[in-house]
Amino acid sequence: MLRLAPALIIALLVLPVGAGLLMVLLPAFGYLPALGGHTASLAPWQMLFAQPGLERSVAISFASGLVSTALALMMVVLFLAASRGTWLDRSIRRLVSPLLAIPHAAIAFGFAFLIAPSGLVARLISPSLTGWERPPDALIVNDPLGLSLMAGLVLKEVPFLLLMSLAALPQLAPEKRLMLARSLGYSPTIAWLKTVLPSLYPLIRLPVYAVIAYATSVVDMALILGPTLPPTLSVSILGWFNDPDISHRFMASAAAVLQLGITLAALLCWWLLEQLIRTLTRGWLTDGSRQRGETALRLFGRSALLISSSMALAALIGLGLFSVAGFWRFPEVLPQMLTLDHWQRSGSMLASPLLTTALVGLISTTLATALVLATLENEHRQHLQPKRSLWLLYLPLLVPQIAFLFGLIVAAESVGIRPQLGLVIAGHLLFVLPYVYLSLAEAYRQLDPRWLQVARSLGVSRSAAFWRVRLPLLLAPLLTAFAVGLAISIGQYLPTQLLGAGRVTTVTTEAVALAAGSNRRLIGVWALVQAGLPLIGFMLALTLPRLLGAQHREHAS
C-alpha cells in the first residue's frame, strides 16, 4: 500500500493537469464534439485576435507577473542581507506565516481600501497635506496600467518568498560564510549578497517560478485590483468561458492556451534575466569591493520589507474598520459611528458558506496530509533519496489555473462527473498537496533516525513506531503543515468557482463576488472572515502542541 503512495501523488498531480491542458488545447482548435465542434479550425484564434484590447490585456498580464516577482524577490533578498540579528528580523520572522496565511482576495480588498481615493491613506493625509475636502477623482484602484494589481501581488508574494528562503537557508550554514567574509573585511550586507545569495537562489528558484506563473494568471486579485477596460487576460478568459454564446467557449479555450504561452514567455524571460544577471555580477563577486553600497542597501533592505508588512497589516485593520463603520465623512480618519449592523445582517448569510469552506478545507487537507505522510514514510523505509521527480509537485503551481481548470471540467464531464462538491474537493487537493508536502518534508527528514531505532530495538513494530514515536514527535510541524493546507484551500477562488459550477459557495467566492458591487462595509465583513479563518488554523497549530506538552508535564509532576 505504502509503496504506491509516491506514484499516487504524482498521478494525482500530473493527470488532472495533463487532461485539463489537453481538453483546452482541442477546443482551442475547434474540436469539442460535446459542443458541436467536429473539425479542426483556426476560427477560435481568429475570433480571439479580433477582440478589442487583447494586446493590452496580454501586456499587463505579462508585465504584472515579471514586475511584481522581481520587486518581491529584491525586497526579500535585501531584507535577508541587511537585517540579520535585528529586532526587525525577529519580528518579521514571527509575522511571516500569519501573513502568508491571509488569502489573496482579503489582502487585495484591504489594500484597495487603503489606497482608494477615499481610502485610509488619503484620509490620513487630508486635508492637512493635500487640501482635499472630498475624495479626489482619480482612478487609483483598477488603474489602467495595473500598478495597484502589481503592488497587491507584491504584498502577497513577499511572505511566500521569505518563508521559502528561510526554510532553505539553514542548509547553507550562512553564519559561517558571513563570519569568514567579515573577517576578510566585508561589511555584513555585502558579505551576505556575495557569499550566501549565490548559493541560496538555486534553492528558491522553483518557488520563484511558481510566483511568476501565479502572478501572470491570477484571477481573484485581478478582479479586485486589476484594470477593467480591458481587464487582464485571465479575467477576460473567465468572462468568455461563462458567456452563454457557445462560440465564446472555443475562443476562451484559445485564450487559455495563449495564457499558458504568456506564462511560459514570462518564465523564459525571467530565465534570460537570470543568465544576464549572473554574467553581469560574476566580476563583482570577486572584485574585492567590500563596503560600497552597504548603507544604501541596508536602508532599502530594512525599510522596504517593513513598509510592505505594515501595509499588509494596515490592510487588515482597514477591513476591520470598514466592517464596523457607520456614517464616515471623507477626510475623517475614523468613522463617526461604529456599528455591528453589517455583521448582524451578514450573520445568517455567512453560515452556509462557512460550513462549505470548512468542509472542503478539512477534507482536502486531511487527504493531502495522509498522502504526504505515506510518501515520506515510504521514502524513509525504502531509504530513498528525495527524488528528482519532486519538481512535478510544482506542476499545479507552475501551470496557470485558468489554463487547465476549464479543460479539467470538460475531461471530468466526459467520464460522467458533473461539477459539484466532490470535484471542488479534488481540485483543492491538487493545490493543497504541494504546499503540505513542502512544509512537512524537511522536518520529516530531519527527525533524528535514532528515535525510531530506539523504538524498534524496544520491540515496537515499524508501523507502531510510526504512530507512537514519529507522529507525536512531529506533532508541531504536522499541525503547521495542516494549517498551511487549510489556508491554501480557504483562499482558492478559481477552482471553487469553476469546479463547483458556481453552486458551491465558500467565503472566498462570496467575498470576490462582492467586488463587482461597491458595498465596502459588506466587503469588509466577508474579507475579514476570509482572512480570519486561516489565522484560527495557525493559532491552533501553534497552541495545541504547547497545551498537550503542558499536560504531559503535569502528569509527570
Output the CA torsion sign for 478, 480, 486, 491: negative
- Those residues with Cβ within 8 angstroms of residue 103's Cβ, 6 or more apart along the chain or in another chain: 487, 490, 491, 508, 530, 531, 534
User: Could you tell me the end-to-end alpha-carbon distance of the chain, in angstroms, rounded to an integer?
Assistant: 42
- Which residue bears the cell 533519496? 385
Please identify which residue in 290, 362, 366, 378 interacts with another protein, judged by CB under 8 A: 290
If residue 216 lies in a helix (H) or strand (E), which one and from where to where?
helix 197-217
Which of 183/385 has CB closer to another protein?
Answer: 183
Residue 105's closest CA among 457, 528, 390? Answer: 528
5-34 residues near another protein, rule: CB under 8 A? none
Per the CB < 8 A criterion, the answer to whether 321 and 213 are in contact is no
Between 52 and 283, whose beta carbon lies closer to another protein? 283
- The CA-atom distances, in angstroms, between 387 and each of 374, 384, 478 are 15, 8, 21
> What is the nearest approach in angstroms of another protein to the Cβ of residue 276?
17
Structural element, H or E, at residue 133: none
> How many of the other CB atoms lie within 10 Å of CB of 27?
25
Give the contacts of 161 (CB within 8 A, at least 6 positions apart): 72, 73, 76, 204, 207, 208, 211
Q: What minimum distance in Å lies between the beta carbon of 287 and another protein? A: 7
Closest to another protein by CB, 204 vs 408, is 204
- DSSP lists the bridge partners of residue 32 as 37
* Closest separation in Å from C-beta 290 to another protein: 7
Cβ nearer to another protein, comparing 286 with 518: 286
Comparing CB distances to another protein, the nearer of 173 and 334 is 173
What are 351's three cell numbers? 453560515
Asked whether 17 and 495 are in contact (CB, 8 A), the reply is no
Size of the site for another protein (CB under 8 A): 24
Q: What is the closest distance, in whole angstroms, from the C-beta atom of residue 211 to another protein in the complex?
A: 23
d(CA 290, CA 5): 50
Binding positions for another protein, 29-88, rule CB under 8 A: none
Q: What is the chain's percent helix, strand, coil content, to nearest 5?
A: 75, 0, 20
Q: x/- contact string, 304-343, with another protein (CB under 8 A)?
A: ----------------------------------------
Residue whose CB is less far from another protein, 171 or 352: 171
Q: Which is nearer to another protein, 202 or 449 (CB)?
A: 202
Nine-digit cell at 374?
A: 505515506
Which span (125-133, 203-211, 227-235, 288-296) binds another protein, by CB under 8 A?
Answer: 288-296
With respect to another protein, which residue has the nearer C-beta, 171 or 453? 171
Min CB(303)–another protein separation in Å: 21
Q: Which residues are within 8 A (CB) of 272 and not within 5 positions of it... i.e. 6 or more apart?
A: none
CB 326 within 8 A of CB 100: no
Closer residue to another protein in complex, CB, 284/327? 284
**Least CB distance from residue 191 to another protein, whole Å?**
7
Residue 287 has a CB neighbour count (10 Å cut-off) of: 11
Is residue 91 at the binding interface for another protein, with CB under 8 A as the rule?
no
Question: What single-letter amino acid sits at 161?
Answer: L
Least distance between another protein and beta carbon 43 (Å): 52
| Nearest distance in Å: CB 176, another protein | 6
Shortest CB 553 distance to another protein, Å:
23
Closer to another protein at the Cβ: 183 or 457?
Answer: 183
| Residue number, 198 or 545, with CB nearest to another protein | 198
| Segment 197 to 256, residues that bind another protein, using CB under 8 A | 198-199
CB of 197 to another protein, least distance (A): 9
CB of 295 to another protein, least distance (A): 13
Q: At what angle do helices 174-183 and 188-195 cross, to 10 degrees?
A: 120
Q: Which set of grid coordinates corresponds to residue 548?
A: 498537550
Three-state DSSP at 32 gives strand
List the interface residues with another protein, window 169-208 (CB under 8 A): 176-177, 179-188, 191, 194-195, 198-199
Smallest distance from another protein to CB 184, Å? 4
Stretch that binds another protein, among 19-27, 150-158, 289-297, 426-434 (CB under 8 A): 289-297
Three-state SS string across 243-301, please? CCCHHHHHHHHHHHHHHHHHHHHHHHHHHHHHHHHHHHHHHHHCCCCCCCCHHHHHHHH
Site string for another protein, 470-509 (x = CB under 8 A): ----------------------------------------
Applying the rule CB under 8 A, the residues between 257 and 286 that interact with another protein are 285-286
Q: Which residues bind another protein (CB under 8 A)?
A: 176-177, 179-188, 191, 194-195, 198-199, 285-291
